Amino acid sequence: MEKISRDWQYVLIWSAVFVVCYLVARYVLSLFAPFIAALILAAIIEPIVELLSRRYRLKRGICTFICLVLVFVLLSVIIALAIVRIVSEAQDLYRALPIYNMNFEEILGKIISQMKNVAEDLPDSVIEAVRRTQSRLYAGLEGFLLGVTGVVMSFPRYSINVIVSFFAAFFISRDKKEISEFLANLAPAKWRGRAERAKAGLISACLGFIRAYLILISVTVAVSIVGFTVAKIRYAWILGIIAGILDLIPLVGPGLLYVPMIIFHLVVGQFYQAIVIAVLMAIQFFVRKGIEPRVLGSNLGIHPLVVLVSMYLGYRLLGAIGMFIGPLFAVILKVMVAVEILPSWPRD
């Protein structure tokens, strides 16, 4: 009876933890997003701030200001260039979409004719299902392009959040010692050692998670854009960003984009493009496998299946943003168990 009671305690504790994680992700993160971004930014520039303050004997506030200005200028240039290029490609593709749809319908008609020649008794329901799928793909792509344009064009509306994040990052980085001592004093004396380990572990894990995925996505996007440009394929930036997003998904990756593109260009007789994309796929695969162990090995420390499950649950519960929040919460919970703030299931 005592065993059952203890098991139920663990079930209730972890059920409460998952409910709290959902409520925080659903209702709290959006309210504190600028300050969470500020905390992440302050942690990212921390090594540079420490290096400058030690080597050049500058005040911490000056070092923080220099780093944030450099980050702000660099991000502004990158985002401005990306917005101009992405919006231009998205609008161009949206205007040309009906022409591509007509070409696709022509190719689809030829494929269906060949299928009928091979199988004379091909049911009409199969043909109708294929055409419905094609219509849904067209509508989905049209909606995706409109969504991309809308999201990119809405960036200027978030300028107040960006300003708040940079000011908050400045104060968090400049007054790091005072803030850390204040937060440590909030915990009971017997919990302070564990809270200190949890803080160090959470900062390391969350930064590792963000750094790992930023590196992997950046490499995939950059390699894909260069490859598509070499292949003389239009909309290289949009396709590169799609490849980067697909690279987030374990066991799927950008191959979900590359393989259909290779097949398409082979069907229409554009063999140069098909060969270049195949080479691009191979390069991306080997580059990813070369850097992935170093990037993910020490930064995440969670099984790919856990990443996949957390991404799926995050997407189902929170939408597209949940694909990023789910794995981050999985990393945080792992650290909380490691420092014994949350209980692990008893082995006996």
pLDDT recorded at residue 292: 61
pLDDT recorded at residue 1: 46
pLDDT digits (tens, 9 = 90+) for 184-215: 676 666 666 666 777 666 776 677 777 777 77
pLDDT digits (tens, 9 = 90+) for 247-271: 877 666 788 888 888 888 887 788 8
pLDDT recorded at residue 213: 75
| pLDDT over 70 percentage in the chain | 70
Tokens of 73: 């200028």
pLDDT > 50? residue 104: yes
> Cβ-count burial of 97 within 10 angstroms (0-12 exposed, 13-18 middle, 19+ buried)?
middle
Q: Which long-range contacts (CB under 8 A, 24 or more apart) does 242-249 make?
A: 243/284, 244/217, 244/218, 244/220, 245/217, 247/216, 247/217, 247/220, 247/288, 248/213, 248/217, 248/311, 248/323, 248/324, 249/308, 249/311, 249/323
The most confident of 62-71, 95-104, 187-196, by mean pLDDT: 62-71
pLDDT > 60? residue 293: no
pLDDT recorded at residue 187: 65
Mean pLDDT for the chain? Answer: 76
Q: Residue 73 contacts by C-beta under 8 Å, 6 or more apart in sequence? A: none
